[in-house]
Structure 1
Amino acid sequence: MTQSASPPNRALLELPQVQRERLSHIDFKLYFLGELRRTDVADRFGTGPAAATRDIAQYKELAPENLVLDNTDKIYRPTANFVPLFDHAPQRVLTALSRGFGEGIGEELKPMVRCEFPMALSEPKMSILAPITRAIHRNKAVRVSYTSIESGRSEREIVPIALVNNGIRWHVRAYDRRRKGFRDFVFTRMENPVLLEDSPITDEEKVDQDVQWNRIIELELVPHPAHPRPEVVMMDYGMPDGVLSVKVRAANAGYMLRRSAIDCSPDHSLSGPEYALWLKDPLALYGANNAQLAPGYRNPRDDSENKPIKAL
């Protein structure tokens, strides 16, 4: 099977969104699971068998070479010439395969294929998460008890602007009214968040004023010079030219580089099998507040080794 989607179909683009969602689900089932039943559509969207039959017929009209009915068990299967009708985003596909694709709720969600992924050791409580996401959506401030490594427990008023997953834990990017600046606040260190309905947001507290959040850094990653098989690294990261260009917010750069074990030392001096990539130009991180989190990073303004970054 080919990996790229077919060119956008004009008739497909003119369909209502709900109809495209049903056709996308048909495309997904055929492409990634290799089979489709009428009940797959009817159960997923709560439609009757007749409506599911119409959806499959419409899909076949748009992509007649994509599926064939196996009369032995009345299951549609992809043909050898199958070309996906939709451009399926890899992260969404992997989430669907490992977590389920909208079938069931709560603990009923089940993976579509056998899979394994890292256990989450730190997850936010929903009673903490919900007020924060409401604040982001409605542009409100929150009063919260927060325990930081540096100063212990204190009452804070923060203005949340975005959720961030650094690969190990979730935190919220927010304006801290006490410190008068934007900071990262870890969910598991929060207690008793209260939405402040009558506390207006000032201009300095808005997301467009967060320089670190709005600054985009472009990083060029290359196979680590000490790696015994650079061609394998190039295959792993899809870099036929030997360079992987990544754009990341300055506020998240250190987290990303640490999670991915990128050697950011100027002389690629870190050793070990975990260091498959090297940051070609460590100066690209200059000015990023959490650059010290990047493995091996040395501030060009310092003659000595950097001190560890202070956590909130």
Structure 2
Amino acid sequence: MGEQSRSLRWGIEQRLEFIEFRLFWEGGVNRADIIDYFGVSVPQASKDLTHYQEVAPGNMHYDKSLKRYFATDTFNPKFLEPDAAHYLSQVAAADLAPYATAQTRVSQPVGFATVPQPQRAVDPHMLRQLLTVMRSKRAVEIRYQSLNPDKPKPQWRWITPHAFCFDGMRWHARAYCHERRLFRDFLLPRISGVRGDGEPGAHASRDHAWHEIYNIKLKPHPGLSEDQQKAVAADYGMKDGEFEIPMRLAMLFYFRKQHLGLDYKEHEKDPQQQHIVMADPDSVRSAQTRADALPAE
């Protein structure tokens, strides 16, 4: 009964927060919004709106002609912590591209567009097998297609997977490679087969690059004008012209090279194209070298 009560309370709080989301970001809300999003009954939606008026008096008023509640000029959220990044992510989730399946709280987005990301095919049965192997902490043999010119055909190789990682576009299995005796990332779409069961290789605790947190320091490109550097600093919320981003050391390459084009020569690039650079490239180079060569034993 206690668990059921807590679940009910959580559901009510979610709906009250939803009401505030619509009031804050879209200016209004009605019963149909709550019914469509949560699948509750008409009486329950009416009860939620009444309850909200009781706990947040003066936050909304009802327009009989439009049959809709609107935020008042004195609206002050009590359940929602307004977050611009969260709202914009909700807007992006409303994109009607066929590969965007996330549910969104936004019903009336202004004009917007997102850059489409091709969806890479991952075999769900293969993924399920890897999950089972990870949970059992065992090794498995995978049929993997490398893009290394020395390996033009797929090869079977033993790995001990322990985690998944997403580089912003692709999903990888983080695993100990029995052949190279190092922890490496294996692209899930390139795994075309899974078989066998074996003794695990190095334990996940030995994946030092995975467990180490590295803080990369970034700053505006020095080739920008003083005002432009201030604008870039404001874009990223920099303090004293720099900011740090913590990440797993194992993810440094993806962040540095694939997302920001930081290749240790970014200072030489056109500042109009490369707005930020590494503040301490020597530290990053040392960290990247360590990430690429950390032994598992």
The offset of 1:143, in angstroms, is: 2.9
Pair 59,95 (structure 1): closer, same or farther in 2 beyond 3 Å: same
Matches within 5 A, 1:82-97: 82-84=75-77, 85-87=79-81, 92-97=86-91
**Corresponding residue number in structure 2 for 1:156:** 157
Please state how far the C-alpha of 1:257 moved relative to its aligned partner.
Answer: 1.8
What is the CA distance between 1:119 and its match in structure 2?
1.8
TM-score with structure 2 length normalisation? 0.77
Q: Which runs of no fewer than 5 residues in structure 2 stay unpaired?
A: 1-5, 293-297
Structure 1 residue matching 2:52: 3-state secondary structure: helix
Alpha-carbon contact 2:94-2:100 (below 8 Å) kept: no
Tell me the TM-score normalised to structure 1 length: 0.74
- Residues 129, 119 of structure 1: CA spacing in aligned structure 2 closer, same or farther, 3 A cutoff? farther
Q: Which 5+ residue runs of structure 1 have no aligned equivalent?
A: 1-12, 293-312
Identify if the C-alpha distance between structure 1 residues 55 and 135 changes in structure 2 by more than 3 Å, giving closer, same or farther.
farther
Asked whether the equivalents of residues 266 and 281 of structure 1 are also in contact (C-alpha less than 8 Å), the reply is: no
**Equivalent position of 2:184 in the other structure:** 183
Deviations, residues 213-232 of structure 1 (Å, cap 9, x unaligned)? 11111122111101231122
Deviation of 1:250 (Å): 0.8
Structure 2: which amino acid aligns with 1:86? L
Aligned-residue offset at 1:187: 2.0
Change (3 A) 1:209 1:106: same
What is the CA–CA distance in structure 2 between the aligned matches of 1:53 and 1:131, rounded to whole Å? 46
2:112 aligned residue: 115
Hey, what's the Cα distance between the residues in 2 that align with 1:193 and 1:51? 48
Note the aligned Cα RMSD (angstroms): 3.4
**Contact 1:217-1:284 at 8 Å conserved across structures:** no
Change (3 A) 1:94 1:158: farther
Aligned to 1:288: 288
Q: Shift of the alpha carbon at 1:73?
A: 0.9
Identify which of 61, 64, 68 aligns with 1:71: 64
Query: Residues of 2 paired with 1:94 and 1:138: CA distance?
Result: 39
Q: Compared with structure 1, are the counterparts of its residues 132 and 25 closer, same or farther at alpha carbon in structure 2 (3 Å cutoff)?
A: farther
Equivalent residues of 2:266, 2:274 under 8 A apart: no
- CA shift for structure 1 position 120: 1.6
Q: As a proportion of its length, which structure holds more helix?
A: 2
SS in 2 for 1:287: helix
Alignment partner of 2:203 out of 185, 205, 229 = 205
SS of equivalent residue, structure 2 residue 29: coil
Q: In the alignment, what sits opposite 2:141? A: 143
8 Å contact 1:266–1:282 — kept in the other structure? no
Change in CA separation of 1:267 and 1:35 when aligned onto 2, cut-off 3 Å: closer
Task: Report deviation, 1:77.
Answer: 1.9
Shift of 1:116: 1.8
Count of paired positions: 273
Report the CA distance shift for 1:130/1:37 in structure 2 as closer, same or farther (over 3 A): farther
What is the aligned counterpart of 2:92 among 98, 105, 119? Answer: 98
Cα 1:225/1:214, change in 2 over 3 Å: same
Q: 2:218 is matched with which residue? A: 221
1:135 Cα deviation from its structure 2 partner: 4.4
The change in CA–CA distance for 1:57 and 1:14 in structure 2 (over 3 A counts) is: farther
Give, in whole Å, the separation in 1 of the partners of 2:31 and 2:278. Answer: 50
Partner of 1:170: 171
Q: CA deviation at 1:251?
A: 0.6
Distance in 2 (CA, whole Å) between partners of 1:290 and 1:77 is 56
Aligned pairs for 1:246-285 within 5 A: 246-261=245-260, 263=262, 265=264, 268-285=267-284
SS in 1 for 2:117: coil
2: CA distance, partners of 1:142 / 1:36: 52
Q: Are the aligned partners of 1:251 and 1:290 in contact in 2 as well (CA < 8 Å)?
A: no
> Equivalent residue of 1:82, what SS?
coil
The percentage of aligned residue pairs carrying the same residue is 26
CA displacement, residues 18-57 of structure 1 (integer Å, 9 cap, x when unaligned): 2222222222222222221112112222211111122222
